[in-house]
Amino acid sequence: MSEPTFATLVSRWYSEHARDLPWRRPGVTPWAILVSEVMLQQTPVVRVVPAWEAWLARWPTPAALADDTPAEAIRMWGRLGYPRRAVRLRDCAVAIVERHAGAVPDRLDQLLALPGVGTYTARAVAAFAYGQRHPVVDTNVRRVVCRAIAGEPDAGPATRPADLVATEELLPVEPAAAALASAAFMELGAVLCVARSPRCDRCPVASVCAWRAAGSPPATGPSRRPQQYAGTDRQVRGLLLGVLRETTGPVPRHRLDQVWADDVQRSRALAGLVTDGLVEPVGEASFRLVGDGGPAAPAPALL
């Protein structure tokens, strides 16, 4: 009898040890899976779960979100971070309604054509919502494949075409089994084959891992430092959005001026929110979340 494949070993482990996440449960809609994939980008699972549940309770279908304003999407996004994702998700919902009669498409090319949907998200929805055979490659999957197959400690900062090819070669031919393997690879990288202090003693493929066989050599390139938050424009943007989310309609400039003492940095952060399509000016001295009311005024000089 032949030895089980890499995908089989990881899939067996996943079937026994996968975390019970709500978007993995039977009966979850393709829309709910799409929402989860957008929210999970650069945001920890523990923060996504309550936001995902609240989002779908309010907007259970793309049509429900498309009928609401971008401002409400930004409000509902709360403090998940990177709030442009909320606007892109609403734009995506509008496109699904206009192009696909409100149903999330199941073809990869149609998913890739949706606003804000890239290589990873399109393949994730195709695999996890529709059980298709596609390489679903995020940071965790790249790390697993790079270590276990190539014997390298780190896959680098960005997904390359070669990563898709290497991952696809590991997938079973049968679509449902391939979709399961894609989820399993991701889970392995998220909980065991982590960037720092991997738990190799619990790994289902430790015995066939090329990186382990090579002695688990450390990465030789520059280490990636965690992004700072305190004192950055990101923090100021968050404070400004916090005031605007809590208010319906225009907020006078003098109220926004109170959130941060540095005039230059505060104005730069506010200008960035306008440029990113999250905030719009109203009159000469007020601002609001985009789409939160009537027609917007031309953007005044902010610096």
Tens of pLDDT, residue by residue over 239-265, are 999 999 999 999 999 999 999 999 999
CA distances from 77 to 25, 90, 270 (A): 23, 11, 18
- Active-site residue, from 3, 16, 37, 174: 37
Of 44-53, 61-70, 203-212, 291-300, the poorest mean pLDDT is in 291-300
Reply yes or no on whether 168 is catalytic: no
Above 60 in pLDDT, residue 301?
no
Query: Considering 213, 242, 276, which residue would you say is the last residue of a domain?
Result: 213
Task: Identify whether 222 is part of a domain.
Answer: no
User: Token match 């697993």: residue?
Assistant: 144
What's the confidence (pLDDT) of residue 296? 45
Residue 43 sits in a domain whose CATH number is: 1.10.340.30
**In this structure, are 94 and 241 located in the same domain?**
no
pLDDT tens, 171-202? 999 999 999 999 999 999 999 999 999 999 99
What's the confidence (pLDDT) of residue 159? 82
Containing structural domain, residue 184: 6-213
Per-residue burial over 42-56, b if 16 or more Cβ lie within 10 Å, else e, is eeeeeebeebbeebb
**In this structure, are 19 and 163 located in the same domain?**
yes
pTM over 0.85: yes
**In this structure, are 39 and 91 located in the same domain?**
yes
**In this structure, are 205 and 294 located in the same domain?**
no
- Please state the domain count of the chain: 2
**Backbone Cα Rg of the chain:** 22
The two three-digit tokens of residue 243, written as one number: 């005031």
pLDDT band for position 1 (50/70/90)?
low
Task: Identify whether 184 is part of a domain.
Answer: yes
Residue 242 sits in a domain whose CATH number is: 1.10.10.10
What's the confidence (pLDDT) of residue 297? 44
